[in-house]
Amino acid sequence: MSKKVLIIGAGGVGNVVVRKCAQVPEVFSEIMLASRTKAKCDAIANAIPEAKIQTAAVDADDVPQLVALINAFKPDMVINVALPYQDLTIMDACLETGVHYLDTANYEPKDEAKFEYSWQWAYQERFKEKGLMALLGCGFDPGQSQIYVAHAAKHHFDEMHYLDIVDCNAGDHGQAFATNFNPEINIREITQDGKYWENGEWKVIPAMSIHKPIEYPNIGPKESYLLYHEELESLVKNFPTIKRARFWMTFGQEYLTHLRVMQNIGITSIKPIKFQGREIIPIEFLKALLPEPGSLGENYTGETSIGCQIKGIKDGKDKTYFIWNNCKHQDAYNDCKAQGVSYTTGVPAMLGAKLMMEGIWMKPGVYNTEEMDPDPFMQQIGIYGLPWNETVGLELPHEY
């Protein structure tokens, strides 16, 4: 097999996707990395001398530019690891040029901190008609988290009732304040209202207002905050027996204190302000001050732990099941010169793309990862760096 892949976005995740695709030359025989700033693509490509990686500049907000690049390189698929703002333009360009698509975060309009799948699900018929596939949200969460749920549904439950996705970063990057993925997207995500699914409807709560300690494997208890996370939307649609679905993420006190101060002074705002005669968006200015997520890897210690706890029925009996991955930041650095959050996103993106290119996950239309057969992914993901563990019973991570 010999497939050409175009990777868009030369940030923390882009670096991992390029390196992981380069480790599988039997599938990804030609790789191009394109991003807004070509120098960042060149820096990544030059750091992987063992692979031949082409680079290009592209403004992924601009469909004609994307179409020209795709027509010149002629990839079999595009892996979009730029920002969620670019999802629709890249999908439009894929439709126009006839190539498959994968991303790791759902579309968000730039002027409103609101993410939902409706915009991308609306492409379903157009992708089907063209015989193309779009796989949405194939990072860790979203992505691998939903594949865990699909695996649980297939192998462990007759009916799933309660789902808690638990996401812990117990790492230390040594900076007073930094975000592990794009700061703008990260801060927009956690400063919006929290939301969870219960008994057929969304319950909205003030941001970060529900929290409790959750026990993470090999880490111990960590204060975890209920957030809205995009995979909840597709999971409750695809597994309608779920009565309650929640997403929890850990934050340290230092991080929360910085965030509160920044919110109070208005520097996390997405509303434009006038500054010295020109318009700026405070959160974009803040992003320019913060460390790049891709730069945090070298001295990052500790590990991440992301898993799904599910309660439901098997053979007429109650069952509680927990499946998770722990990833050490230093292992991520050793494999890909990356920190654990970029790594846990980029590895599933490569494997999802590989399964698409091999025809194992290939079907025309727009899909979320839990709609794919979980078995081939679960068989291979450990080989590429993210092995999983499971336990039955109520040992971890929290009591109901």
What are the residues binding ligand NDP (CB under 6 A)? 9-14, 35-37, 40, 58-61, 81-84, 86, 104-105, 137, 139-143, 181-182, 185, 292-294, 341-342, 345
| Residue 201 beta carbon to ligand NDP: minimum distance, rounded to whole angstroms | 25
What Cα–Cα distance (Å) separates residue 296 from each residue in 142, 146, 180, 301, 319?
22, 27, 8, 10, 40
Residue type, 379: Q
DSSP 39-63: HHHHHHHHT-TTS-EEEEE--TT-H
Burial letters 127-145, b for 16+ CB under 10 A, else e: beeeebbbbbbbbbbbbbb
7 or 312: CB nearest ligand NDP: 7
157 or 369: CB nearest ligand NDP: 369
| Residue 342 beta carbon to ligand NDP: minimum distance, rounded to whole angstroms | 6
The single-letter DSSP state of residue 276 is T
9 or 297: CB nearest ligand NDP: 9
| Residue 339 beta carbon to ligand NDP: minimum distance, rounded to whole angstroms | 9
DSSP 228-254: --THHHHHHHH-TT-SEEEEEEE--HH
| Residue 368 beta carbon to ligand NDP: minimum distance, rounded to whole angstroms | 12
- Work out whether strand 3-8 and strand 159-172 pair parallel, antiparallel, or are unpaired: unpaired
312 or 374: CB nearest ligand NDP: 374
* Distance, CA of 350 to CA of 28 (rounded, Å): 10
10 or 311: CB nearest ligand NDP: 10
309 or 344: CB nearest ligand NDP: 344
160 or 187: CB nearest ligand NDP: 187
The single-letter DSSP state of residue 95 is H
Does the CA dihedral 172-178-183-188 come out positive or negative?
positive
The residue number with the shortest CB distance to ligand NDP is 11
Nearest alpha-carbon partner for 109 in 28, 20, 192, 8: 192
78 or 133: CB nearest ligand NDP: 78
| Residue 288 beta carbon to ligand NDP: minimum distance, rounded to whole angstroms | 10
SS (H, E, C) 145-190: HHHHHHHHHHHCCCEEEEEEEEEEEEEECCCCCCCCCCHHHHHHHH
Nearest alpha-carbon partner for 225 in 254, 258, 247, 203: 247
| Residue 384 beta carbon to ligand NDP: minimum distance, rounded to whole angstroms | 15
13 or 94: CB nearest ligand NDP: 13
DSSP 343-377: HHHHHHHHHHHHHHHTTSS--SEEEEGGGS-HHHH
| Residue 188 beta carbon to ligand NDP: minimum distance, rounded to whole angstroms | 10
| Residue 278 beta carbon to ligand NDP: minimum distance, rounded to whole angstroms | 19
Neighbouring-strand partners of residue 270: none
* Distance, CA of 237 to CA of 142 (rounded, Å): 15
| Residue 35 beta carbon to ligand NDP: minimum distance, rounded to whole angstroms | 4
